[in-house]
Chain A
Amino acid sequence: MASSSGNRPSPFDDFLSRNTISSISGGLPLVHSTKSLNLRELVKASGLEPTECDVFNEQLLYFFLGRPAYRWGRPESQPHHWELPTCFIFDQLPGFPIERVYPFDSGGHANGLYPSYVQNIPRENFETRNPDAPNRIVSALFGSFQRYVAGQPKSEEDLIKEFDLSVFDAEMLAVRALAGDGTPEAFDDRRFSIEIQTRDPIDFSINPPSAIILPVNYLDNADLRDAILRWNSEPITYDLYSLNLSHYHGIIFYKFMDYCKSRGFSV
């Protein structure tokens, strides 16, 4: 499958295609994050609509695999903890049309937020459009979904031993280094979150969210409660009172993991 840079597969895509990557069991939910402010409109809407992305200059919807990470508005803007996130969790999205997959938050790369060993490589080199890419990335770099969630990639030695890696596979080695360079407990850490983009809207009447992460006070809104009941979604809430970034992001991460376990995901 070709990348957006032309018909030629990206080096990252090439690595994923030419190597035999063992399939792994299980999976993780897809998570779309937005500002809770937008909930007011979303409860009345028929679903999620792509919005203009000024990195790719097209209308896109973003998801992260198994991470309650969030991004909105201009991808270069760093979210502040007061911009209370709401995350729509989808246990599955059958027939989900993938536009692009990146092994990290592409907005972070566009804004130079990553270490130089990643920034020095063009963003397009990491792009893939293969629908199997998310699972193959997890398998190749981590070996299991549990290790992906915990942020424990394989060692560089193991990776070189297992795969056909040469000095020309800088992308794969950079991604591996990035994967081990983060703190998985930090909700805001999107450095190694597999990003999945689509150009299609998500219709809630066909694919309602399985769960929604939101501030607890928002449940006081009757329209929102009706929507949650209509969608048959599970509410997962977090408190606002502490004004402590790591506290409530930690709670979101903790509850998300608990949710995944309760739904039988491998975390």
Chain B
Amino acid sequence: MNYNLVEVRKFSGCPYGFCLPIFSRKGSNDAYAQNLDISGRVVEFLPVDTSTFDKIDILPPPHVTDVGLKGFLAFHHEDGQLFVLHLDELREALMGIGIANPFVAVELSALLNDRDLQHLAIRECADVFGNAGIIANWARREKKLFRVVEEALQDISDIYEPEYDALSEDFAKLQSEFSLKDWTEIWIRLWGQGYKRKELVGLASLRLDQDYGFYGDAPKIFLLILDFDDSDFVIKHALKALESSRITDDFWRTLFNRLGNISSRNRKLLTEIASSGLRQELQQNNPSSRVWVSLWSSAFSYEDRAREAWSLAIDYVEKLPTLTSDAAGILVYPFRQYDSEFEPFFRKTRDWVVRYPRSTVVWSTLFLKVVERDKSYDLIDIGVDWLSRSGGNLTSWVNIWSKFHGLIDEELRRDLAMQWLSRARLDMRSWVDIFLLMFENASIAEKEKLKNLGKMWLRSGYGSRASHRKIEQAVRYLESLSAV
């Protein structure tokens, strides 16, 4: 009995990365998931309640499999592309693919048996976590298990041919009635079932030429077609579909990337389409970091597109005072690209940092980036002023304060820390870190202040048991000094 792949669902809580292929079979209303063996073959199909998994809104290819045959693994890339392939094919498809999310990259490294990727991803995970102590054992375990995972995924390959049913009635409808409301839906379904694909390409192109439109599904449809046919005729229509669609659509970015990879001839046009889309988005004052980072990650890789990317970055900085989105996440990306075009962008960002100091993640993140490259007096003065008045609710305060080690007088730096402890949020883990750091080499005057601050923190009820124990010990010690 054959099982047909019908959809792919996300493991809850994981917007991108590996996901769950869902199958159906004739004569049953149940949804099924595969239990695979280490070679990627289906051991059994088990009924699954799909309601707890969010559906990925991309029609998967029309795969068919059965117990004993090769199963399918699914991977949803950050750029929107969905891979549903056999284990060995998926490894090949994902080899060398860029992954921004380090936690997905850790998992990917196990699939690809890529030790370098794993080490890099673990380091990035530790950065994201911001607490080396807690993450250290996790990292050790991941590395230790690497070999086990590697061995578990030795595989073999086999060949099978998918089967599909004829759906000639639906196809006839598509041919005869372009005005059908569910024309696009029927087209996608037939395509998914592998029915007369060559003819379906012709029908889709004809429809586009006759300006019937695809009700927002144009990028999705041309992505499917490009898997099958990337002739100039199809590429021309795909570019047209891209231009007329919204840049924030997941499929838009995937189609954009796909077209860029197919042929360098279209890069100029693609750059223009992307720039125009990004500028439109910037006008709306709420750019999505996902779109920007995704497009930049490809734009900066090509010399002919990098110039335009830098121009956009500068436009972005100019809009910073009015933007409400996670601008830090977007602008950190160009900071990773050092080339001849970097300086104008850097000067613009530096200027913004100097003119608009504020107690936000955006400002502190960008200030840190700027001061890493430029330690001029005016920046140091602004930093000191900011450290003395702002950042009471920001972990990034500690990053800037740490960065100033050796840049300013140590006594002043300690004063700033004491002031921060008095005004910072007590539920921040970094409060405990700074307190303990100050306690280690406290002067007599600092000890008295730390005793009171420590008592205040203990009364607040925040923090872990371990933190409580440490602060209690410190306060007890400081009290014993007062008693003497």
B33: A residues at CB distance < 8 A: 80, 82, 243
Asked if residues A255 and B20 are in contact (CB atoms below 8 Å), the reply is no
For window 118-151 of B, CB contacts with A under 8 Å fall at 125, 128-131, 134-135, 137-138, 141-142, 144-145, 148-149
CB distance from B18 to the nearest CB of A (A): 4
Asked if residues B12 and A231 are in contact (CB atoms below 8 Å), the reply is no
Cα–Cα, bound, A228→B111 (Å): 26
Asked if residues B35 and A251 are in contact (CB atoms below 8 Å), the reply is no
B21 to chain A: closest residue by CB: A243
Cα–Cα, bound, A234→B110 (Å): 21
Q: Which of B11, B35, B135, B152 contacts A84 (CB 8 A)?
A: B11
CB distance from B314 to the nearest CB of A (A): 29
Contact with B along A225-246 (1 / 0, CB 8 A): 1001111111111011111110
B131: A residues at CB distance < 8 A: 229
Asked if residues B149 and A240 are in contact (CB atoms below 8 Å), the reply is no
Q: Known: A83-B52, A219-B125, A232-B464. Contact between A237 and B138, CB under 8 A?
A: yes
Cα–Cα, bound, A239→B38 (Å): 14
Asked if residues B37 and A236 are in contact (CB atoms below 8 Å), the reply is no
Most chain A CB neighbours (cut-off 10 Å) among B36, B108, B141, B463: B141
Q: Known: A83-B52, A225-B128, A232-B467. Contact between A240 and B141, CB under 8 A?
A: no
CB distance from A228 to the nearest CB of B (A): 7
Q: Which of B37, B111, B134, B149 contacts A235 (CB 8 A)?
A: B134
Instruction: Classify chain B's interface size.
Output: 35 or more
Asked if residues A80 and B464 are in contact (CB atoms below 8 Å), the reply is no
A53: B residues at CB distance < 8 A: none
- Residue B101 is within 8 A (CB to CB) of chain A in the complex: yes
Binding site for B on A (CB under 8 A): 35-37, 39-40, 80-84, 205, 208, 215-221, 225, 228-237, 239-245, 247, 251, 254-255, 258-259, 262
- Could you give 30 example pairs across A and B, Cβ below 8 Å? A82-B20, A82-B48, A215-B11, A216-B103, A217-B14, A217-B107, A218-B13, A220-B103, A229-B130, A230-B427, A232-B464, A232-B467, A234-B134, A234-B137, A234-B138, A237-B106, A241-B18, A241-B111, A242-B36, A243-B20, A243-B35, A243-B36, A243-B71, A243-B73, A244-B37, A244-B38, A254-B145, A255-B145, A259-B137, A259-B141
With A36-B12, A217-B17 given, can you name 14 additional A-B contacts, CB distance below 8 Å?
A39-B13, A221-B13, A229-B131, A229-B429, A235-B138, A239-B18, A239-B149, A241-B75, A241-B107, A241-B110, A242-B73, A242-B152, A243-B34, A244-B36
